Copies of this chain bind each other. A is one copy, B any other.
Amino acid sequence: MPELRKDPILGRWVIISTERGGRPSSYGTVGARIAAKLCPFCAGKEDNTPPEILSYRDDDSEPNKPGWSLRVFPNKYPALVVEGSLDRQPHGLYDMMHGIGAHEVIVETPEHGRDMDQMEISELRDILWAYRERMVDLERDRRFKYILIFKNHGEAAGASLEHAHSQLIATPIIPKKVLEEIEGSRKYYEFKERCVYCDIIRQELSDQERVVRDYDSFLSIQPFAPRFPFETWILPKTHQSSYLEMSDHDYTLLAECVRDTLRRLKIALNDPPFNFVLHTRPIQKEHHEYYHWHIELIPKLTRVAGFEWGSGFYINPTPPEEAAEFLRGIDVEQMMGKEQNKPAEEKS
């Protein structure tokens, strides 16, 4: 069973998860990527994954058979496992507990090589809706404190399979970075009695220089102090602490915003590897006044080196104002039109 261990100085929990491979003798060899024809996420390969938890599929199709447009199942190599109790315990001065949690895979399309930015709005909305459905279900498990949804696109961003998918991890602790965001926004609220993210939205709409695009209900910006070049945030323009507070129609608007932003990044940076992370409040509802859910998109363009690891202090060579201007200037429809008309073999 995986273990959760706490750093006694920083209070940072880590997952020690031997189920995922990583024996000492296995480093220094290079893992081969899985060829498309062996991809376990493609339609027809349902036997290669654990049984599905949720799927959107044709009415006359059977579970764990083809006929689906989106499929959710437990990760075959989970970082945390669902069965068991936390069993918090000391180890001398250290603290640990069992690695209890959920780790699920959301396969976004049956079609290998079809990325989020190429999908119809209805397909992208289904993905965003599936996030919601899984969160609502998992929030009922009292052992969990946080649900993190993320997506790694491209090998350099940590994706081990190229077939478009997102992941969900439900954790028995609130992760450190989330706690820091909550604490920071709580302090601002105590001082100002306003949500710091709402103030950021106001200032960005007024300054305009870091806005990528102002959409219906959502705003896409380059943050004022980005760690990475082209780090992009998507925020709901009205105050919502949780992803689950959106109206039904908002999911469609968010799909439009996400697709357009991803297209801009893809064209500007030549299909960069990226991480997509949904930041929402913990399952407990007490942070609703000052926390504001958002999405962080981080293209992987630079390497994180010793300075950053040692200090938590990032060096970013690209001012966000320049990145925003560059992204604003992209003619998405014209460029995507060209891409659609390319012969198929040039596409990927």
Contacts and interface: CB of A to CB of B under 8 A. Distances in A.
Interface of A: 3, 5-18, 20-25, 27-28, 79, 91-94, 146, 148, 150-152, 156-159, 167, 169, 171, 173, 175-178, 180-181, 184-185, 188, 196-197, 199-200, 203, 206-207, 223-227, 229-230, 268-270, 272, 275-279, 296, 298-299, 301-307, 309-320, 322-323, 325-326
Quickly give the copy total for this chain.
Answer: 2
B225 A180 contact: no
Nearest to A13: B313
B319 A8 contact: no
Given A180-B10, A225-B5, A313-B177, A318 B24 contact: yes
A307 B269 contact: no
Indicate the member of A150, A159, A299 with the most B CB atoms within 10 Å.
A150
Given A16-B319, A167-B307, 19 more contacts: A8-B188, A13-B225, A13-B313, A16-B320, A18-B319, A22-B229, A23-B318, A24-B230, A24-B318, A27-B229, A27-B272, A28-B272, A92-B203, A93-B203, A148-B307, A157-B305, A159-B305, A275-B305, A296-B310
Contacts of A272: 27-28
A312 B225 contact: no
A276 B310 CA distance: 9
A54 to B, nearest CB: 20
Contacts of A152: 305-306
Contact of A269 (B18, B28, B157): B28
Contacts of A301: 27
Contact of A17 (B207, B225, B269, B317): B317
A323 B18 CA distance: 12
A304 B177 CA distance: 15
Contact of A306 (B14, B275, B323, B326): B275
6 contacts: A12-B312, A16-B316, A18-B318, A24-B229, A24-B325, A150-B307
Please report whether the interface of chain A is mostly helix, strand, loop or mixed according to DSSP: mixed
Contact of A225 (B7, B158, B229, B279): B7
Contacts of A181: 9-10
A325 to B, nearest CB: 8
A185 B305 CA distance: 25
